[in-house]
Amino acid sequence: MAELTDLQFSILDALYFVEPFDKILEEVGEPENLVAAELRQLISARWVQPMQFDARFQDYVRSSLHDTDDLRAYHYLATREGLLMHSGRG
> Per residue in 71-90, pLDDT tens?
999 999 999 999 999 988 65
End-to-end CA distance of the chain: 11
Number of alpha helices (DSSP H) and beta strands (DSSP E) in the chain: 4, 4
Task: Compute how many other C-beta atoms are within 10 angstroms of the C-beta atom of residue 19.
Answer: 18
- Reported as type and span, the H/E element at residue 76 is strand 75-78
Local confidence band at 63 (pLDDT 50, 70, 90 cut-offs): confident
Question: Which of 4-8, 26-30, 43-47, 60-64 comes out lowest in average pLDDT?
Answer: 60-64
pTM (two decimals):
0.89
User: 9-26, pLDDT tens digit by residue?
Assistant: 999 999 999 999 999 999
Domains of the chain by start residue, with CATH? 6-86 (1.10.10.10)
